[in-house]
Chains A and B, each alone.
Chain A
Amino acid sequence: MAGLGKIARRGFLVGAATVAGGFAIGIYSLRQPYVSPLADDLPPGMAALTPHVLIDRGGITLITPRADMGQGATSIQAALIAEELDVALDAVRTDPGPPAPAYYNARIVAEGLPFAATDEGWMAEAAREAGGWASKLMALQITGGSSTVPDAYDRLRHAGAAARAILVTAAARRLGVAEDTLTTGDGAVIAPDGTRLSYVELAPAAGRLLEPREVRLKDPAEWRLLGRPMRRIDIVAKSTGLQRYGIDQALPGMLFAAVRTNPRRGGGVVAMDASAAEAMKGVVRVVPLPGGAGVLADSTWRAFEAVRAIRFDWGPAPYPATTGALFESIAAALDEDARDSRLKDEGDIEAALADGADVEADYRVPFLAHAPLEPMTALAWFRNGQLEVRAGTQIPGFAAKTARRLSGLSRDGVLLRALPMGGSFGRRLEDDFIDQAVRLAWAAEGRPVKLTWSREEDMTHDFPRPAAIARGRGRVAEGRVAALDLSIAAPSVSESQMGRLGFNALGADTAIVAGAWDQPFAIPAYRVTGYRAAETVPVSSWRSVGASANGFFHESLLDELIHEAGADPLAERLRLCSHAPSARVLEAVGEMSGWGGALGPGRGRGLAFTLSFGVPCAEVVEVTATDRGIRIDRVFVAAEVGRVLDPVNFENQVQGGVVWGLSHAIWSELTYADGRPEQENFDTYPAMRLPACPEIVVRGLETTDTIRGIGEPPVPPAAPALANAIFAATGQRVRELPLAKSVRFA
């Protein structure tokens, strides 16, 4: 019935299973950084293979479990498989995968694990132990941290290659020829005489041949798909209005829901009067929810109108009520008692600064909302003792667990479909809206319920990027940077977010200093210290997480020191740089931008560099000080990612990351008054629009062996490169974001 391929590198095993009319190839994952809270409720002996290739009578399905929030994850995952399987991308279906972990019933592990360990030398015994785990761990299915590509790169190609190998074996037996006389292409095995046996017709025989085997991956020189511009598989649907997101789900008899809860998260409800809402036409029911209420109605609009008509008496926020008080709480953490980490401590910084500092500066960045253009939505439906949930989520495994906890249903009773997302940027790493949808569906007694958050609900109930404060000091000597001491205080994203997911975040939170402590510069005295501010507003991961703030702190301070030393920002960074790939991106961006060339009056260039998520990324921003304010003319970006798998998507992601970084650096902040965010919609939370968007020139470097994702790394250098450019053009040094508080933009 089942077999496993012989691959155990980098913490994964290829597995196979017979299905009706064919077979499935997938991956068991054995190594994950932490223990899953889901491990508790998987029955003993139950395990699931996460399939990536399914070939049966219905055709070829590539299963791409990493959710697509716009970063092209579905396409790139499919391409990794298709490359090795030798199928065209337009000849396959893609599917986000099993809606429940037990979908591909997996007595597979119980039946034995015919595998041989290779380069990591695992014992079969250990793997059998781990086998039960594997599926539980796969249920984590977290999409985030620019991890999709690095994580998938080996696994998915191996899955595709293993499927191809099995099909070749089946064809060789049928034709009575040696395997090495056969080739593959376009979904078929091709015999020396040109006979084509399609994968689908070979699938039933192949399904009886699942045995351990060696597979060979293609040399990148043999690639037909990867490394070239690909047409994203969702591009037609997304250009014709046919892509269906969570907000577009529709089922017969469906009710439309909206919610309103206390915008002081955790403040609760003291009293509520829903009589006006209940009396409104089209309203089916008002449902009390933790912290507020929801309305079930006959259209989203009526549900929006009705929740607005509920009168609430909210409780106070369980945290400081104003922006000022929140920043005071962060500033108070710049103290030895709150020291969280000191991961960089080179040379003798105390001695270097004993006679005072040449540069001393405080920086700060605000709370920020994710505000993906599709607000939070989820559909939930109880019927026949089962619960179906459909939602755009980066954490389907956790969301399913939430649904099980609320419904009391078993693993088999909950079906979760993860849908394409209209943006996320980290917001859908939370499942609060799914929790609400399940509660509303329970009250709907068998009718499906689609919950849509209004923009106002979305923006006032985000888990924002935390505000942060940094204190920088440094010395220069003989035209060089001699000492850099950076102290950063921020609330801990890990503590807040992991706590909600059921993890204990132990030890230091590197997110407080990520993008600052880990930079590849050899400064004679160099120290970065993280201070943990008290948890106040619940916070979470926001595109590029800690580096989104720390890139600004580090690169602003370094730039100030370089100017103080009278050095050139590019030359001095290159002189200090201790990491060859990072030096190469700095050189590349210098060359692309014509660094050093004259720009003319009122113009300036700023450079910033951040290594984050393993990717060195350097950006040069060119600005002009016009009489209407600062205009950004051009941005140059160089990043090292090992391999650019899809040049079009790469460029799009980098440009998007730069727009994201600049947009928030210039305009955005969430401020608090009376315990609640003051911004409710895009009129008060502005973002970059087409007229302000500069030309963005991108270059991907491929000089290292390690493949990396590019969703997040372009974000951190954007804000400091812009601030440094404004300094170059005007002499004004801005140390606080958003910049528009201090500088006028054209």
Chain B
Amino acid sequence: MKLTVNGTEHDLDVDPEMPLLWVLRDILGLTGTKYGCGIGQCGACTVHLGGRAVQSCQVAAGDVDAPVTTIEGLGTPAAPHPVQAAWIETQVAQCGYCQSGQIMAAAALLAEVPAPSQNQIDDALAGNLCRCGTYPRIRAAVRLAADKLREG
């Protein structure tokens, strides 16, 4: 099957039932997308599918019908996406394991709602668990990212 990930088209021979999460991690080696629960409860596996935030553990490879963006495709240390830059500046991460998913969820929110209210932020990221409890900094970073994006 054909899969476009971070702008690169791949022709893959994988079981169409295999969740996108494992295609990314085990087949394509894109390990920035994390496994936390496998049942759509933690958000660690969040990626963009055609620009929308989805939990990649809940999408079968065979059902992927749009280009995929993972945390690696969002930005890099040399050229971070504004959301990543805000995450770095705010020093959100503790263990960091949930943060790819948090960042992908936040980036999708801000692409749609440039100036979200606290409720909108909370709702958009409610699917993303952080066991380390970085929530206060996550809120601050989303607000900072919104400012950065508006300033362009």
Report which of B37, B126, B130 forms a contact with A681, defined as CB distance below 8 A. Answer: B37
Select the stretch in A108-116, A154-162, A206-214, A240-248 that faces chain B.
A240-248
**Shortest CB distance A448–B (Å):** 14
Find chain A residues with CB under 8 A from B136 CB: 655, 693, 695-696
A238 and B31 contacting across the interface, CB-CB below 8 Å: no
Chain B residues positioned under 8 Å from A238 (CB to CB) = 93, 96, 99
Q: Which B residues lie within 8 Å of A653 (CB)?
A: 94
B contact residues vs A (CB 8 Å cutoff):
15, 18-19, 21-22, 25-27, 29-39, 41-42, 44, 70-72, 74-77, 80, 84, 87-88, 91-100, 103, 119, 121-123, 125-139
> Which chain A residues border B122 with CB–CB below 8 Å?
690-691
Tell me the bound Cα distance from A368 to B86 in angstroms. Answer: 34
Residues of A within 8 A of B137 (CB): 652, 655
Note all chain A residues with C-beta closer than 8 A to B80: 236, 239-240
Stretch of A9-17, A544-552, A623-631, A656-664 contacting B (4+ beta carbons < 8 Å): A656-664
Residues of A within 8 A of B41 (CB): 681-683
CB < 8 Å neighbour of B97 from A240, A373, A683, A691 = A373
Chain B residues with CB under 8 A of A424:
95
Chain B hits for A247, CB < 8 A: 31, 34-35
In the complex, the answer to whether A652 meets B94 with C-beta atoms within 8 Å is yes
Nearest A residue to B76 by beta-carbon distance?
A240
- Can you offer 25 A-B residue contacts whose CB atoms are under 8 A? A69-B95, A231-B88, A239-B84, A241-B100, A242-B32, A247-B31, A250-B31, A281-B15, A301-B18, A371-B131, A373-B42, A373-B98, A373-B132, A375-B35, A420-B96, A424-B95, A656-B94, A656-B133, A663-B133, A681-B41, A687-B129, A689-B129, A690-B139, A693-B135, A693-B136
Measured in the bound complex, the distance between the Cα atoms of B55 and A404 in whole Å is 40
Q: Contact between A232 and B93 (Cβ–Cβ < 8 Å)?
A: yes
Query: Does A235 lie at the interface of the complex (its beta carbon under 8 Å from any beta carbon of B)?
Result: yes
B91 touches A652 (CB 8 A): yes
Indicate whether A234 reaches chain B with its CB closer than 8 angstroms.
Answer: yes
Chain B residues lying within 8 Å of A240, measured Cβ to Cβ, are 32, 71-72, 75-77, 80, 84
User: Does A299 belong to the interface (CB within 8 Å)?
Assistant: yes
A-chain residues with CB within 8 Å of residue B97 when the two chains form the complex: 70, 245, 372-374, 422-423
**Cβ of A442 < 8 Å from any Cβ of B?**
no
Complex Cα distance, B25 from A371, in Å, reads 21
Task: Assess the B32–A423 pair: CB atoms within 8 A.
Answer: no
Q: CB-defined interface of A215-256 with B at 8 Å, one 1/0 digit per residue?
A: 000000000000000011011111111111101101000001
Of all A-B residue pairs in the complex, the 7 with the closest CB atoms, nearest first, are A241-B32, A659-B133, A70-B95, A238-B96, A422-B97, A241-B71, A656-B133
- Residues on B with C-beta less than 8 A from A300 are 22, 25-26, 35
Chain A 292-314 interface mask (CB, 8 Å, partner B; 1/0): 00000001111010000000000
Tell me if B25 and A244 are in contact (CB < 8 A). no
Sample of 4 more A-B contacts, CB < 8 Å, known A236-B80, A250-B31, A372-B95: A235-B91, A247-B34, A248-B31, A691-B122
Which B residues lie within 8 Å of A423 (CB)? 94-95, 97, 131-132
A residues near B (Cβ < 8 Å) are 68-72, 231-232, 234-245, 247-248, 250, 256, 281-282, 299-302, 304, 371-375, 420-425, 452, 454-455, 648-649, 652-653, 655-660, 663, 681-683, 687-691, 693, 695-696
Q: Which A residues lie within 8 Å of B27 (CB)?
A: 299
Task: Tell me, in angstroms, the Cα distance from A239 to B74 when the chains sit together.
Answer: 11
| Complex contact B138–A234 (CB within 8 A) | no
Does B95 lie within 8 Å of A239, measured CB to CB? no
Q: Indicate whether A244 sits within 8 Å of B91 (C-beta atoms), given known contacts A423-B132, A658-B133.
A: no
* A239 and B39 contact, Cβ closer than 8 Å, known pairs A299-B18, A299-B26, A690-B135: no
Name the CB-closest residue of A to B119. A691
Q: What is the bound-complex CA distance between A656 and B98, given in angstroms?
A: 14
B-chain residues with CB within 8 Å of residue A243 when the two chains form the complex: 96
- Are the CB atoms of B128 and A235 closer together than 8 Å? no
B37 adjacent to A236 (CB under 8 Å): no
What distance in Å separates the Cβ of A403 from its nearest Cβ neighbour in chain B? 24
B133 to chain A, nearest CB (A): 3
Contacts of A455 in B (CB 8 A): 36-39
Taking a contact as CB atoms under 8 Å apart, the answer to whether A231 and B70 are in contact is no
- A residues within 8 A CB of B123? 691
Q: How far is the CB of B142 from chain A (nearest CB, A)?
A: 10
Q: Would you call A235 and B88 a contact (CB within 8 A)? A: yes
Cβ–Cβ < 8 Å partners of A687 in chain B: 129, 131
Contacting residues, chain A, for B77 (C-beta < 8 A): 236-237, 240, 242
How far is B93's CA from A371's CA once the two chains are assembled, in angstroms? 18
Cα–Cα, bound, A688→B42 (Å): 11
Please give the distance in Å from B147's CB to the nearest CB on chain A: 17
Least Cβ distance of A60 to chain B in Å?
A: 21
Q: Are A373 and B95 closer than 8 Å at their CB atoms?
A: yes
> Which of the residues B26, B33, B87 comes within 8 Å of A301, measured between beta carbons?
B26
User: Which residues of A have CB within 8 Å of B70?
Assistant: 241
Tell me if A652 and B71 are in contact (CB < 8 A).
no
Decide if B39 touches A690 in the complex (CB within 8 Å): no
Nearest residue in A to B26 (C-beta to C-beta)? A299
Q: Which residues on A sit within 8 Å (CB–CB) of B39?
A: 455, 681-683
Q: How far is the CB of B46 from chain A (nearest CB, A)?
A: 11
Q: Of B31, B35, B41, B133, which is in contact with the most chain A CB atoms at under 10 Å from its CB?
A: B133
- Looking at the assembled complex, report how far the CB atom of A688 sits from the nearest CB atom of chain B, in whole angstroms: 7
Chain A residues with CB under 8 A of B72: 240-242
- Measured CB to CB, the closest approach of chain A to B78, in angstroms, equals 10
- The answer to whether B18 touches A690, judged by C-beta atoms less than 8 angstroms apart, is no
Distance of B71 from chain A, by nearest CB (Å): 3
